[in-house]
Structure 1
Amino acid sequence: MSSLKAPSTFFHHVAHSMLPQNPNPSFLPATITRRSLRTSPLRCSLAAAAPLSSVIGSQTRVEILSEALPYIQRFRGKTIVVKYGGAAMKSPELQASVVKDLVLLSCVGLRLVVIHGGGPEINAWLGRLGIEPQFLNGLRVTDAATMEIVEMVLVGKVNKSLVSRINGAGGTAVGLSGKDGRLLVPRPAPDSASLGFVGDVASIDPSILHPLLSSGHIPVIASVAADESGQAYNINADTVAGEIAAAMGAEKLILLTDVPGILEDRNDLGTLVKEIDIKGVRKMVEDGKVAGGMIPKVNCCVRSLAQGVRTASIIDGRKSHSLLLELLTGDGAGTMITG
């Protein structure tokens, strides 16, 4: 969500629905794949967004791109940290939508860092091994056997798959975990006696990320890390995203979720809070209007804002192209929290 002037009907009603679900470059119309894609600085953006010409005319396409310009100018060169999880990871269609959004945004100059979870995949693998997943206060109880599965899934499967998808769509992603370059150093969570190898972030060294971002790469980070002795820890991906956003001095933190955002009345989708400051959201938590799984997400956003992140948004990952809606329109795709 942006404080810039709201977009015209072109971008508001058309742009987010124009991006196709099929990432195959062969679907690009001939008029786009020739000279325009070879010479235009927006060539990879157009590739990610094709085939526009099969739906709307040339003049309308130009108008839509023009409407995006103020938002691109605002965020170009800025670091945006995205936590990718929830429904957007479960659906192949939404996976394609997120990947295309990331590629397009990277192509127009945003410096993107992606942190991912992988809860459903971990549960599936545990099930195959006859291990019943256990949770305590929303966190996965992680014994030694479960930690092996967490590492295998997050680092070996989900991370590589996401990197491959981004690269296949024309981006340049690099897969990492918190272990790489000592990006994250964990400490045991306060209730580690019950949770096992679940960690908090003790320290961050983001130096490994700066050259990647400067080269136009998209770091894709699995939320596992190892302490000084080499013991691996499972860290909540929202927490990792918030701490990395703070350490990077990010312009914006975005959490993709399975809900529309923060609701004034949890039983009424029409009460979505579009924008709220730290004081206001803390009051909602105190009044019980924010509860359950939303509390740690809100706390993550508030903590990142307190450390210098400009804005934090909790957006609906079930919405196609929700990242573009949040960053390139005035309406956004969920709730934006400001400092």
Structure 2
Amino acid sequence: MKSEHLRASVVNDLVLLSCVGLRPVLVHGGGPEINSMLTLLGIRPEFIDGLRVTDAATMEVVSMVLVGSVNKDLVSLISQAGATAVGLSGLDGGLFTARPGPDAARLGFVGEVARVEPSVLRHLTDQGFIPVIASVSMDEKGQKYNINADTAAGELAAALGAEKLILLTDVPGILGQRDDPGSLVKEIDIKGVKRMVDEGKIAGGMIPKVNCCVRSLAQGVRTASIIDGRVPHSLLLEIMTDEGTGTMITG
């Protein structure tokens, strides 16, 4: 989320939700920040089907930026907004263990979540902390992997038995007609999502988002929403109003 104003808005929403008794867990990536650092270092960012191609050099940059910079900035913002956050990555407390992704030959160190151990998160949320999680982890041999933040969020939501998974993005949600914001699909079930993928209406970076939503629903999460993080207080609107914002996917 590039806008400092919108980032502060999301953080304030998280703090408010925590204050009224909900237990939010924030999982983040940091694509723009990673791209900026890669460019500064003379490494060209590359993507395939919405996923970052991650060689060894890129993996070091991803880890440095997500864990060392973006994560701590978010923790600081939450603290300034009046709550207490704890910054983690998938490596901490064995939170989630990675394995190579199915397309490792093309994508490099882009991993999948092999196992989740959510006990550290339960302890933190029980004590009123807001966990802030960078989507970097390692396999059982210690090799670090870049995990798509949406994918990590979906797996963590399922492991925690979360009521709702919400993905913040920079589009209104799932669109019936690509590039037409007026064709926003407000609610859709898993079968409808799969049909739109088959028809090519869902493509590119939206594919991993809907895939992680579908997987989390299949594992017991009640609803999953893809909402526009550019809209002020979209998080509150999605949770606190009947109308919501963006697209809600149901089982």
In which range does the TM-score fall when normalised by the shorter chain?
over 0.9
Shift of 1:296: 1.5
Shift of 1:244: 0.5
TM-score (normalizing by structure 2): 0.97
Which range is displaced more, 279-288 or 176-185?
279-288
Query: Hey, which of these two has a bigger chunk of helix by percent?
Result: 1
Alignment of structure 1 residues 115-154 onto 2, 5 Å:
115-154=27-66
Cross-structure match for 2:165: 253
Match of 2:124 among 212, 216, 219: 212
RMSD: 1.0
Cross-structure match for 1:326: 238
* DSSP 3-state at the match of 1:157: helix
TM-score (normalizing by structure 1): 0.72
Q: Please tell me the residue identity of whatever aligns with 1:116.
A: H
Alignment of structure 1 residues 70-89 onto 2, 5 Å:
89=1
Shift of 1:267: 3.7
Q: Please tell me the residue identity of whatever aligns with 2:3.
A: S
Q: Please tell me the residue identity of whatever aligns with 1:232.
A: K
Matched, 1:180 2:92: yes
Matched, 1:162 2:74: yes
- Residues 119-153 of structure 1: CA deviation (Å, up to 9, x unaligned): 11111111111111122222111111111111110
Larger Rg: 1 or 2?
1
Instruction: Give the Cα separation in 1 of the matches to 2:46 and 2:181.
Output: 30
Shift of 1:303: 0.6
Cross-structure match for 2:247: 335
Matched, 1:282 2:207: no
Match of 1:203 among 115, 122, 132: 115
Instruction: Give the Cα separation in 2 of the matches to 1:288 and 1:229.
Output: 38
Long gaps (5+) in structure 2:
none
Identity among equivalent positions (%) equals 74
Shift of 1:263: 1.5
Matched, 1:103 2:15: yes
Match of 2:226 among 286, 307, 314: 314
Q: Does the 8 A contact of 2:49 with 2:204 survive in 1?
A: no
Match of 1:294 among 197, 200, 206: 206
Instruction: Give the Cα separation in 1 of the matches to 2:74 and 2:109.
Output: 25
- Residues 215-271 of structure 1: CA deviation (Å, up to 9, x unaligned): 111100000001122111111001000100111110000000111111222243222
In 2 relative to 1, CA 290–135 (structure 1 residues): closer, same or farther, beyond 3 Å?
A: closer
* DSSP 3-state at the match of 1:336: strand
* DSSP 3-state at the match of 2:36: helix
Instruction: Give the Cα separation in 2 of the matches to 1:265 and 1:196.
Output: 33
